[in-house]
Every structure is written in C-alpha cells, then in structure tokens.
Chain A
Amino acid sequence: MKSSPRVSAGFTLVELMVSTAIIGLIMLVLVQMTNQTSQTWRSTAEKIEKFQQARDGFESMTRRLSQATLNTNWDYLDASGAPRDKNVGSTAFVKFVPIYYGRTSDLRFVSGPMKSSAFSLDGKIVRPGHGVFFQAPFGLATTTDYAAMDNLLNTWGYFVEAGNDPNRPDFVDKAGVPARWRSRLMEYMLPTEQMSLYDKADNSYTWYTLHLNDATNRPVRVLAENVITLIILPKLSKPDEDARTRAQTPQAAMLSPKYIYDSFPIAPATLNPGASGGTDPGMIMPKNQLPPILTVTMVALDERSAQRLADTYCHNVEMTSQSVHGNQRVTGSASEMVMGLDVAAGKVTPAVTYANLFTDATRLEDDPNTQTPGDGDLYDLERILVHEKLTYRVFTSNVSIRGAKWSRVQTK
C-alpha cells in the first residue's frame, strides 16, 4: 500500500532529463536517417529522371538506325565503275559502255564527324561528335493523303548541336529571357515528298545538307536535351574483323578507322581506306553496302550540370540570339558549340585536345600506343567531365543493321 503513491509520484527530475536526452538522441539519429534516406532517394530518382529523356532518345535512335536500308541491286557498270546515267538521252547515257556487273543502289548511308569537311555542312555551326544520315521506310509525309502509308521512304539522321532552344516561341526571345544554351541530340526527319536523293543533280551530300543548312525551316527536332556528344563507329562483324586483323594491321582491319563511312564515296580514298581498291586483297569496300554493326555511344549530362556549363562558358549567346531572332540557327563561337568543353579540356592534367577526340577510331576505348589499359578518347572525355564536377552518363549500344548483308565480293 505504501508503494503505490511512490509509483504515482512519477519521474524525478533526473529521470526526465535522462529520458529527454535519450529522446533527443533518438530524434537526432532519426532526423539524420530521414534526411539521408530522402537524399539518397532524391538523387536516385533524379538520376533516373534526369537521364530519362536521354535514354528514351537513345532507344528511339538505335531502333530507327537498325532499320536503315539501301535497297541494293546488281547492274552493269562502266570502266570507271559508275552505273548508267539516269538522264535518258544524255551524252553520258548514250555513250555508256557496260564493262562490269556490280552492286548499285539509289540510296545512301553516311556517318562520321560532323565537322568533317567531306560532308560540306555549313561551317558556322560546329556540331560536336558524329552524325549519321540514311534512308529508311518510316512513312513520314506532310501530305494528308499519305498519312496511312507507313512504308514511304524518308531521309533520316541524328547529330548533336548546341544553341538556344530551337522550339522557343518568338515572344520569349523578345521579352529578353536569357537564351537557354544547351547541347541537344537532334533528329533529322525529312518528309518523304522532299526527298531529293533521287535527283540526278544531287550527286554529293546535298540530299541532307540542303535541308540541314536551311535557315528557317529545318526538318529537325530535339530528341533529347543535354547530350554533349554522339559517337558512331561502323564496324564489321567480329569474325570478319578478326580475319582481317590476322592479315593486316588492326587499323586496316577496321571498317572505318577515322569514323567516316559513306556507302557511295565521293572521294573514296580519303573517306574509306581501301575503297579505291587495288593494292589490298580482300579490301574493305563499303560501296553500296550498309555497315553490319554500328557502335553508338552517347554522353548525356543532367540539367544542373548542363546549366553550370552554360553559365560558365556560354556568354555572348544572349546578344546573338536576339539578332538571329526567328532564325532557328543560333550563331555561337566554336567553343560555345561544344559547351566550353574545349576550354575545360585544357585544364585537366595531362591536358586533352578536345578537337582531337573521336577522330581516330583505334583510340575510342584504349590508346594502343600506351601500356595503360582503358585510356582512350572516352576516358579523356570523362576526365574533363569529372574535372568540371558534372553528372554525366555514357550510353553505348551495338546496333546491328538488319538490312546489311556485308559481302566481301568486291565490285568495281
């Protein structure tokens, strides 16, 4: 009976203080845990979300690339290996003398560094990384009549371009809102009616450069934001490449040692070694052939990192974007077109020359001239990105082109 009042007497001051302290401790730990969990969760979610667009873009790009077609056939060729002139009745047509029988195609497949002069693109825009242009039956048409025709042929392409947001409405620019300088993965989608490839006058690269250089009405859309580079490496299948490596140097065994591939080489010797033929038995001849495999690599940043790069390196954009208002092309300096990565490349040790990145395919993963494994161009690019404290992600995929029937049988 005596004890009950003591129980009901409750806690002493010391007890209360101790328990408060314990509660405080627990609270502290809990708050920290909550904080940490939420931080981890947020960063994971962000990582997934911020690269969601890049991933979607990458998937869409690789899927479409695998549908590239050349629709090859075999036909008579003259002594120089050219098919008969398409212009019936022209001198070239009448004087055609068939000598050989070879693979021909009306369509084209081109990939390589976008700054390469071979592709005769508007020099004002430096487009980082590589581009690829091809034909495939995607059925894109502007005429309503053709809306239901899914297999109409289109000229299609992918490349990376930096600049102000091309989809911004006029009034935003007029209101003086700062330009949104970003590097973007662009999709080139030419409506089927505008396809100029078959035009006999179109004998170089105008089938895509004409529309790409169009100042006001480019058939181009943004596929993914904050993509800083795209690398396309056409490759032979593994057995084919191994067979070549045994006979030749690794470089000569590559389908496109300089990343350049053109199914109808205008200047064969400079684009594809061996294409001009003759000295190298079993040479690689890409003429009117699709590459069997494309290794597609894409490097994407998150929005925060891209904003930081833009803030640091892209300054005079605001002024120029006003003057080119209404024009989808934004003129920036070469450095701005690569989001200042060329400047950043000089700050890392050892310094990297940005312009030399991804021009020599033997160096993509690993530099064959050094003992260190994995010190190729991709590693160098990552060093730059790490130095700038950017969050980035590298997407890589081997795309096998379904329409490719690589053949060693060479034609003139």
Chain B
Amino acid sequence: MEPRSDQVNLPLTHMKLHKHSVSGVALIIVLGFLVIISALAVAFFSSVNTELKASRNFAAGVTTRQLADSAVQIVMGQIAAATTRGVDSQTGGTGQGNEAWASQPGMIRVYGKNQGSGSTASASADAFYKLYSSNQMILTADAGLPTFKTGTYSDPKGDAYVGWDQAPALWADLNAPVLVRDPVSHQPVPRFPIIDPRAYASTVDTTTPWSDTKWAGNVEGFTYDSAAVHGIVGPGDPNNQRLPMPVRWIYVLQDGTLTMPSDTGTITADFSTNTSDKIPTSKNPIVGRIAFWTDDETCKLNLNTAAGFNADPKKLPTLAYQQNPSSFAGSFWDTPRFYTQFDYGIPDATGQPQSGQTSGGLALCQLLQNEFQRYPGHPATTSLAPVLNNLLTSEQFYAVVPRYSNLNLQGTPASTVGGTQRIIVDPVNTPGDLDNKELQPKQDRLFASVDEFIFGPHVKTGNFASPTYARTNVNSYNQFAGNPITPDVIDKLRFFVTTQSRAPELNLYGQPRVTCWPIRSETSLETTGLNVFDNLMLFCSTVGASAVSTGARPDTKTDATSTGVYRYIFTRREVVASNLSSISHTDLLGGPSYSQWEFSTSYVPDSELPSIQTPGRNKKLLANYLGGTTGLLSRPIPGVGRNSPTRVIAPPINRGF
C-alpha cells in the first residue's frame, strides 16, 4: 500500500489507528457476548445438574426398596409353592395330594408318600424349598437333591462353601457385625443383625451352685464349629466371636431378570457360561444384587406363651432332687399308669411328699387349676429353660411371663413347683381356701417385641392386692438379685425367642383338623346352651368368616359353601323326651318282655336332617372328609414312610388329624 504523493501523510496514520481500534471493539463485543452466553449456559446446566442429582438420589432410594421387595417376593413365592405342593401337584390340582411340609429357619421341607427305603422313603424329604438366596432355590429328587444331600463344605457348588470369603462376587455375609460403642462402658462392641454368636460359650460352669450374678452365657444346645467355614470365631474373648452366614448374591438385571454368576469368577462375577437371557449386557446391565435369608418364628420359644419348669439340677428344692431330677414330673402332668416312684411319689404321714428325698410324683403332686405350666399339651409346658437356664429359676419364670403365675391371692407360692410339692386346697376345714389359696392367672400385658422383655412384668409379683404399674420402675428385674436380664443378655437371646409364633394348624394333608369335641347342635332344644369352652372350640373349628354372622357362635345353619363358612367339629343333640319313645322288647333268654326308652322311629339324626344341610355337616365330615374313596383315611400318609396306601384302622388322632 503506497501513499499517493499528493496526499499528506498525517491522515494515513490516523486512518491506521482508526482501523485498529474498530477491530478491537468488535472482538471485545463478540468475546463479551460469548462470555455472557456461556455463563448463562453454565448456570443453566449446573442448575439442571443439581436437579438431576436430586432426582437420581430419589430414584436410587426407590430402586433399593424395589430390590428389597423382590427378595420378599421370592420368599413368599417359595413358601406358597412349598405349602401348596401337596395340595396341587400330585393329582392335577384337585386338592388330593399327599405331601406334608415342615418349616425351619431358612427352609421348608416337603415330604411325600414314596415307597422305598433309606433316602428314597417318604420319611426323607421329597423337596427342599430354600428361603435364602442360593443358586438352586428348589431341590427336588430330579434337580439337585442328590448334590445337596452329599454336599461338602469344600464343594463350591454347595450352600456352605468353606472359602466363601475369597469369592466376594459370589457370597455375602448376612451376619456381619456392626461395631458400636457400648452406651455404658463406651467400648466398641459388635452387634449382630441375625444371630449373636456369644450365645455359645464353651465355659459353662456346671459345678458351682447357681447364683444370681453368674451367667455362663450359653443357650442350651446352641453350638457351632469354628472350622466349618472361614471367619467363624468360637468362644474365647466374647467380643471377638464371629459367626458368618454366607449366602449367595443374586444379581438383578435392568429388565428384572435374576441371574447368578458361575463359580469360576471369585472377585469378578463371571456370567460367560450363562444362557444368553441371563447375561448382563450394555442394554440390560446389572442394576443391583440381593442376598437374603428368612427366619422362622415358629421355631422359637415364645415369651408370651411358654413358661415350663427349669429342670436345672442346681435350682431344685432339695439336694436329693438335685441329685435325682428324673424322679419328679417337672414340666408336665399325666395320668399315673405304673407302680413306680415317678408315678406315685412318697407321701409322709400328713400326705405331703417326704422331705429330704425325691418324693414327688404324678399321683401325689397333682397339678392345680390354672397351673398351666403342667397342663399336658398346653403351650405353657414349653420350657423357657433352654434360654434362661442360667439366669432365672422356675419361680422367676412365672414372675416374668405375662399370663402364668405360681402365686395365690396372698402372694404366696401355690403351685406344685414342677411336681415336687403338694398343695391342699381345703374349703371345708379352712373356709375361704378356694377364694384365697387358688392359683391366680396373671393378666399382664403381652410382650409386643423381644426387646420389651427388658421391662419384665407390669403386674408386680408379690402382693397381688395392690399391684403397681411397673414400667416406670426402669429395671423390673431388680426384684431378682443380680439384675439377671440386661439389654446385653436380650441381644444374645434374640435369635432364640420370639413374641409371635403363629403357625397354621393343619393336618398332614394341608387341610383343617377335625376337633374331637362334640358341641350342642343348633337344632337342640337349648341352642344357646354352649359354655365358654364350647364356644371357644366352635370358634377354633370354624374356617372362613361369615358376612352375616354377628354373634360369638358362627351360624351353623347357613354353614355351606355359599357363605364361605366351614365347620370342622361334630354336633350332637341332647336326649329329650320328645325324641324318645318306650319300645317293647322280647327277652332273648325267654324272660318276660320289657320296654325301654329309645329314639323313636321318626327321629332323624342331625347328620341326616335335610332341612339343615344336604347332607348334614356331621355326615359330610364323616363320609366325605374322613371316609370315602377320597377321604383322608383312604389316602397314604405323607412323611411316614408307608410302602402302600393300606387303610389303617386307628383313632384319627394317631394319624395327625
């Protein structure tokens, strides 16, 4: 660019300067805009990002809950399949199957009617329904059962693999403790989610007489083998005791598929050998994994219903009893049948058991009214001793449990003390005995959770006349020396006790039991003449709710399929004059003829009354439910190992009805 000679130089310089400044402004403006726009964009995106994070957190919470629910669903499915297997599988869902089930923590076993012997007889289980996460949830004779039965700890395919801790991709320890600071000692102590291994202590002192302060820490019969799988630490330092419960991880894919890696991958899950629909892909990735194990409350001691007698020798009344605990009844009563000391006991001149020796017996020390802890078959005969053995005496059990007692209204012991004492209630010579000396059942609140056991009884023992509300007295156990029940102890007992243990009361065929307690029929003259026990029996023997019934007695007149009410109890009518007539008979031995009152010929038994039911419920129970070609009596008994379905003539009770 050469300047023309006729032009002055000055403007050129000006021009140059001018041009420079203009270009700069444009750049600055453009850059400025860029900055503003990008700031806006960044601000916007960062806000979006926060939102995204918030919603992602929420979604994660939902997903976790869904995963937990899926474990519950699996278990519910397993339980349903196991308990209805006997009903549906065998003969095309007609409810005529022959399989019985039994539950335990973590598993339901199903027993069939197989012929054969040894492990193929029906006395050994047909199928195992696992209630914990495993690579084979159901084991049957044709699928996996043989491996399960012969499974060894060293077999990685089994459910108890000794080296589980080296394969974190496959195994999870459900009983891994959490270390927390003890609220009192401020030392770190382990807390276990399922089972506290400290309930097993090898150092039980059996020689020292029982004292309030000593607890060996042992739950009777609870033990584990330190060498079984890795990680188990047996008795020693209690805070170091460990009891891993390894179960397998089940991996959950995005579309809900549950899958499991093969045993080859230990640190990294290896799905390569799976079928194509069970392999995680980028489109169907793993979204979570679950591991679970299911407890069974029906296998535990129920603090609300059990009581029993503590037969620990150290706690028996005299040295003689301590040395020979087998010569008294303990936690049950039965009719004396034989001439043994156990049956008759040894009375002294006053009729009491002779002192200083084992003289109690079934005949001498008969149970009293309301001494439920000795009622044969009553839940109260179930003894709490296995868990509370070293903590409380029998008498203290009754002070702690909510419904049973060994005290009378004077607050003095009035029970037979497990069949070692004789209680004489004599209203003739001592008026008032019946009112005052009778054993009184408690009406305390039931424990709603195991932890509630710490508060003990609310109706204070001792003088019943002025019971005090005791929950506010923080330690209800201070009535016992040495404060035997502490939160620490309850932690150890938690796996063995429960407060709810409801279980279905079914016979071996999965059907309701028939109650052997005939009640007055609704066609009898006095239909309301049921005592409270009849009512209870009727209530317990009736299946299904009636929308129309309002009273305590189910309306058996409408007892039919249409109302959904089924009664499993027999009814009877009382013998009244209107049903009888005097009928004349000839004496078979040639004597004069005689008359006697008998049912008139027009009398129709309840079971045949068409107006009530066609046929009557009694007849239905007898002819269709118990008898007949499809009745229970003509079906083989599952789980008993009988070779052929021979009909057995036996009282139904022996056959588990």
Report yes or no: A152 in contact with B452, Cβ–Cβ below 8 A: yes
Residues of B within 8 Å of A407, CB to CB, are 545
Report yes or no: A198 in contact with B467, Cβ–Cβ below 8 A: no
Residues of A within 8 Å of B491, CB to CB, are 148
B544-588 interface bits toward A, Cβ cutoff 8 Å, 1 = contact, 0 = none: 011111101000000000000000000000000000000000000
Task: Known A153-B449, A281-B550; judge A88-B29 contact (CB<8 A).
Answer: no
Chain B residue with the shortest CB-CB distance to A100: B552
Report yes or no: B550 in contact with A277, Cβ–Cβ below 8 A: yes
Residues of B within 8 Å of A146, CB to CB, are 454, 487
Question: A10-B22, A199-B469, A408-B545 given. 18 additional CB < 8 A pairs?
Answer: A9-B19, A30-B36, A48-B54, A76-B532, A86-B445, A88-B409, A88-B442, A89-B409, A99-B532, A99-B535, A100-B552, A137-B449, A145-B183, A148-B491, A198-B469, A198-B471, A281-B549, A412-B552
Report yes or no: A69 in contact with B448, Cβ–Cβ below 8 A: yes
Report yes or no: A89 in contact with B451, Cβ–Cβ below 8 A: no
Chain B residue with the shortest CB-CB distance to A89: B464
A133-159 interface bits toward B, Cβ cutoff 8 Å, 1 = contact, 0 = none: 001010100011111111111000000
Report yes or no: B545 in contact with A1, Cβ–Cβ below 8 A: no
Task: Known A76-B532, A149-B490, A198-B471; judge A93-B451 contact (CB<8 A).
Answer: no
Residues of A within 8 Å of B442, CB to CB, are 88
Report yes or no: A41 in contact with B472, Cβ–Cβ below 8 A: no
Report yes or no: B471 in contact with A193, Cβ–Cβ below 8 A: yes
Chain A residue with the shortest CB-CB distance to B449: A151
Residues of B within 8 Å of A9, CB to CB, are 15, 18-19
Contacting residue for B19 out of A8, A151, A281, CB 8 A: A8
A39-57 interface bits toward B, Cβ cutoff 8 Å, 1 = contact, 0 = none: 0010011001000000000
Chain B residues 375-434 with CB under 8 Å of chain A are 405, 409
A73-116 interface bits toward B, Cβ cutoff 8 Å, 1 = contact, 0 = none: 10010000001111111000110001111100011000000000
- Looking at chain A's contact residues, the main secondary structure is loop
Pick the 7 closest A-B CB pairs, nearest first.
A151-B449, A144-B183, A199-B469, A71-B448, A151-B451, A106-B445, A88-B464
A242-257 interface bits toward B, Cβ cutoff 8 Å, 1 = contact, 0 = none: 0100000000000000
How many Å lie between the Cα of A34 and that of B40 in the bound state? 7
A282 at the interface (CB under 8 A from B): yes
A372 at the interface (CB under 8 A from B): no
Task: Known A88-B459, A408-B545; judge A101-B536 contact (CB<8 A).
Answer: yes
Chain B residue with the shortest CB-CB distance to A88: B464
- B304, B451, B472 — most chain A CB neighbours (10 Å): B451
14 contacts between A and B (CB under 8 A): A4-B1, A5-B1, A8-B15, A10-B19, A38-B43, A71-B446, A73-B446, A84-B443, A87-B443, A87-B467, A88-B409, A88-B464, A146-B454, A408-B545
Contacting residue for A283 out of B29, B440, B500, B550, CB 8 A: B550
Closest beta carbon of chain B to A124's beta carbon, Å: 28
How many Å lie between the Cα of A139 and that of B491 in the bound state? 14
B184 at the interface (CB under 8 A from A): yes
- A37, A85, A89, A199 — most chain B CB neighbours (10 Å): A89
Chain A residue with the shortest CB-CB distance to B442: A88
Contacts between the two chains (Cβ within 8 Å), count: 161
A60-74 interface bits toward B, Cβ cutoff 8 Å, 1 = contact, 0 = none: 000000000101010
A239 at the interface (CB under 8 A from B): no
How many Å lie between the Cα of A117 and that of B550 in the bound state? 30
B337 at the interface (CB under 8 A from A): no
Residues of A within 8 Å of B458, CB to CB, are 198
Chain A residue with the shortest CB-CB distance to B26: A19
How many Å lie between the Cα of A34 and that of B471 in the bound state? 64
B16 at the interface (CB under 8 A from A): yes
Closest beta carbon of chain A to B321's beta carbon, Å: 29
Contacting residue for A5 out of B15, B467, B550, CB 8 A: B15
Report yes or no: A151 in contact with B450, Cβ–Cβ below 8 A: yes
How many Å lie between the Cα of A359 and that of B445 in the bound state? 35
Chain B residues 443-486 with CB under 8 Å of chain A are 443-446, 448-452, 454, 458-459, 464-465, 467, 469, 471-472, 474, 486
Residues of A within 8 Å of B409, CB to CB, are 88-89
How many Å lie between the Cα of A87 and that of B440 in the bound state? 11
Closest beta carbon of chain A to B269's beta carbon, Å: 33
A194 at the interface (CB under 8 A from B): yes
B-side interface residues toward A, CB under 8 Å? 1, 15-16, 18-19, 22, 29, 33, 36-37, 40, 43-44, 47, 50-51, 54, 180, 182-184, 191, 304, 405, 409, 435, 440, 442-446, 448-452, 454, 458-459, 464-465, 467, 469, 471-472, 474, 486-487, 490-491, 499-500, 532, 535-536, 539, 545-550, 552
How many Å lie between the Cα of A23 and that of B51 in the bound state? 34
Closest beta carbon of chain B to A18's beta carbon, Å: 14
A213 at the interface (CB under 8 A from B): no
Chain B residue with the shortest CB-CB distance to A143: B474
Report yes or no: B474 in contact with A193, Cβ–Cβ below 8 A: yes
How many Å lie between the Cα of A278 and that of B551 in the bound state? 9
How many Å lie between the Cα of A147 and that of B186 in the bound state? 12
A141-180 interface bits toward B, Cβ cutoff 8 Å, 1 = contact, 0 = none: 0011111111111000000000000000000000000000
Closest beta carbon of chain B to A141's beta carbon, Å: 9
Residues of B within 8 Å of A99, CB to CB, are 532, 535, 552
Closest beta carbon of chain B to A277's beta carbon, Å: 7
Residues of A within 8 Å of B474, CB to CB, are 143, 145, 193
Residues of A within 8 Å of B499, CB to CB, are 71
A318-341 interface bits toward B, Cβ cutoff 8 Å, 1 = contact, 0 = none: 000000000000000000000000
Closest beta carbon of chain A to B185's beta carbon, Å: 11
How many Å lie between the Cα of A1 and that of B1 in the bound state? 7
Residues of A within 8 Å of B486, CB to CB, are 145
Report yes or no: A148 in contact with B443, Cβ–Cβ below 8 A: no
Report yes or no: B451 in contact with A201, Cβ–Cβ below 8 A: no
Contacting residue for A86 out of B47, B443, B548, CB 8 A: B443
Task: Known A83-B443, A100-B535; judge A281-B452 contact (CB<8 A).
Answer: no
How many Å lie between the Cα of A196 and that of B36 in the bound state? 66
Residues of A within 8 Å of B472, CB to CB, are 193-194
A410 at the interface (CB under 8 A from B): yes
A278-322 interface bits toward B, Cβ cutoff 8 Å, 1 = contact, 0 = none: 100111000000000000000000000000000000000000000
Report yes or no: A195 in contact with B471, Cβ–Cβ below 8 A: yes
Closest beta carbon of chain B to A142's beta carbon, Å: 9
Chain A residue with the shortest CB-CB distance to B460: A88
Residues of B within 8 Å of A411, CB to CB, are 552
A395 at the interface (CB under 8 A from B): no
Report yes or no: B552 in contact with A137, Cβ–Cβ below 8 A: no
A334-354 interface bits toward B, Cβ cutoff 8 Å, 1 = contact, 0 = none: 000000000000000000000
Chain A residue with the shortest CB-CB distance to B40: A34
Residues of B within 8 Å of A11, CB to CB, are 22
Chain B residue with the shortest CB-CB distance to A153: B448
How many Å lie between the Cα of A206 and that of B71 in the bound state? 41
Contacting residue for A85 out of B29, B50, B443, CB 8 A: B443
Contacting residue for B451 out of A73, A149, A193, CB 8 A: A149
Chain A residues 377-412 with CB under 8 Å of chain B are 407-412
A238 at the interface (CB under 8 A from B): no
Contacting residue for B532 out of A37, A101, A145, CB 8 A: A101
Chain B residue with the shortest CB-CB distance to A281: B548
How many Å lie between the Cα of A101 and that of B184 in the bound state? 46
How many Å lie between the Cα of A410 and that of B553 in the bound state? 10
Report yes or no: B448 in contact with A281, Cβ–Cβ below 8 A: no
Closest beta carbon of chain B to A210's beta carbon, Å: 13
Closest beta carbon of chain B to A193's beta carbon, Å: 6
Closest beta carbon of chain A to B188's beta carbon, Å: 12
Contacting residue for A98 out of B180, B191, B532, CB 8 A: B532
Report yes or no: B547 in contact with A86, Cβ–Cβ below 8 A: no
How many Å lie between the Cα of A101 and that of B51 in the bound state? 57
Closest beta carbon of chain A to B408's beta carbon, Å: 9
Closest beta carbon of chain A to B608's beta carbon, Å: 30
How many Å lie between the Cα of A84 and that of B47 in the bound state? 64
How many Å lie between the Cα of A37 and that of B47 in the bound state? 11
Closest beta carbon of chain B to A247's beta carbon, Å: 8
Chain A residue with the shortest CB-CB distance to B12: A5
